[in-house]
């Protein structure tokens, strides 16, 4: 049971915000691609696959960052960093989870399977990006948005141009919430020499976060309106965008003082923005 608890801690089982941030845009893409409910098969494949791949990503990230994490207050007690789990164990758990996710992808089509390799490559590259990229959150944005074109590929067998617009919009959202996350660890990251968007943006961090939110909500809403089938009521989508925008403005109040608690709370609650947008889309499809 002690080992099991360590494995659950390794994959952040008690912190579901991470996989929810992945889940909502992926579900939205499924609904858009299918023009409504995509069917139980694809829903299970993408929902379960999202949880599995996010968990596998945590294993890779903890192994890659173990020498950095011991110098950061928030991460010093992670299982690999603290030595409670070995590097080999963590990699074995990550590999098993990734294989289970790939098994789910094998039940889809050729294009989706091919895209899963690109998604895996980006997920593996992200933990090392902070060593060479001034804003590694952009790499995370690609990793956390790749479920969108994969969803279109699984439903339609092709990825339209607007799906890539959704990916770019979602990347802006990732930049917003992961910059909030980076603001929590700014002092520790400066001391150990890690590059993050919060450090690169400097005193413009709060303004940039709000700009990322604006780009995300504007571009996402526009693309969704182009993708919904004719005859769809747009008011649920517009209302959902308004709710999401109100949440983003509330996050400004949480982060404007750059205090750790406020920034971390804003990050943890970000998944409700994605939830609101998906709810509006699902309601519009239901009413059509």
Model confidence pLDDT, tens digit, residues 199-241: 999 999 999 999 999 999 999 999 999 999 888 889 999 999 9
Q: Which residue has the higher pLDDT, 78 or 274?
A: 274
Average pLDDT, the chain: 92
Count: domains in the chain:
1
Q: Residues 140-151: what's their mean pLDDT? A: 94
* Reported pTM: 0.93
Please tell me the predicted confidence (pLDDT) of residue 230. 86
Identify the band that residue 18 occupies on the pLDDT scale cut at 50, 70 and 90.
confident
Query: Cα torsion at 144, 247, 245, 239 (round to 10°)?
Result: 100
Of 98, 96, 61, nearest in space to 80 by CA = 61
Domain CATH code at residue 144: 1.10.357.140
Q: pLDDT over 70 for what percent of the chain?
A: 100
* List of long-range contacts for 229-237, beta carbons under 8 Å, 24+ apart: 229/35, 229/288, 231/288, 232/284, 232/285, 232/288, 233/284, 233/287, 233/288, 234/284, 236/280, 236/281, 236/283, 236/284, 236/287, 237/280, 237/281, 237/284
pLDDT of 261 over the 80 cut: yes
In this structure, the number of other CB atoms found within 10 A of the CB of residue 218 comes to: 14
**238/163 Cα distance (integer angstroms):** 19
Identify the band that residue 1 occupies on the pLDDT scale cut at 50, 70 and 90.
low
Mapping DSSP onto H, E and C, the string for 28-80 reads HHHHHHHCCCCCHHHHHHHHHHHHHHHHHHHHHHHHHCHHHHCCCCCCCCCHH
pLDDT of 178 over the 90 cut: yes
**Three-state secondary structure call for residue 86:** coil
Please tell me the predicted confidence (pLDDT) of residue 135. 87
Residue 58, Ramachandran bin (φ over 0: left; ψ between -120 and 50: alpha; else beta)? alpha
Model confidence pLDDT, tens digit, residues 38-55: 999 999 999 999 999 999
**Contact indicator for 241, 283 with CB cutoff of 8 Å:** no
Of 147, 156, 134, 163, nearest in space to 223 by CA = 163
Range of 11's domain?
2-287
Q: Which residue has the higher pLDDT, 74 or 41?
A: 41
Q: Which residue has the higher pLDDT, 111 or 130?
A: 111
Q: pLDDT over 90 for what percent of the chain?
A: 70
Of 160, 178, 158, 180, nearest in space to 170 by CA = 178
Please tell me the predicted confidence (pLDDT) of residue 71. 72
């Amino acid at each position: 049971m002690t080992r099991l608890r360590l494995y659950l801690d390794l994959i952040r089982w008690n912190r579901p915000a991470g996989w929810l941030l992945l889940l909502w845009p992926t579900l939205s893409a499924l609904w858009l691609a299918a023009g409504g409910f995509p069917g139980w098969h694809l829903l299970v494949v993408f929902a379960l696959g999202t949880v599995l791949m996010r968990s596998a990503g945590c294993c890779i990230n903890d192994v890659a960052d173990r020498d950095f994490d011991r110098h950061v207050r928030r991460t010093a007690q992670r299982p690999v960093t603290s030595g409670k789990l070995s590097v080999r164990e963590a990699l074995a758990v990550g590999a098993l989870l990734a294989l289970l996710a790939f098994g789910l992808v094998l039940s889809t089509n050729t294009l989706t399977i091919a895209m899963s390799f690109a998604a895996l490559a980006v997920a593996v590259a992200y933990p090392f990006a902070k060593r060479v990229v001034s804003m590694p959150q952009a790499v995370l944005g690609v990793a956390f948005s790749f479920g969108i074109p994969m969803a279109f590929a699984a439903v339609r067998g092709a990825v339209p141009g607007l799906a890539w617009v959704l990916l770019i919009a979602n990347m802006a959202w990732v930049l917003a919430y992961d910059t909030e996350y980076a603001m929590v660890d700014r002092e520790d990251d400066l001391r150990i020499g890690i590059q993050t968007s919060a450090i690169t943006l400097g005193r413009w961090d709060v303004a940039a976060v709000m700009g990322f939110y604006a780009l995300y909500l504007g571009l996402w809403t526009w693309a969704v309106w182009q993708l919904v089938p004719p005859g769809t009521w747009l008011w649920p989508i517009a209302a959902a965008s308004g709710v999401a925008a109100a949440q983003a403005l509330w996050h400004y109040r949480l982060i404007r003082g750059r205090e750790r608690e406020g920034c971390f709370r804003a990050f943890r609650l970000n998944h409700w923005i994605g939830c609101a947008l998906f709810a509006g889309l699902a309601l519009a499809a239901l009413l059509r």
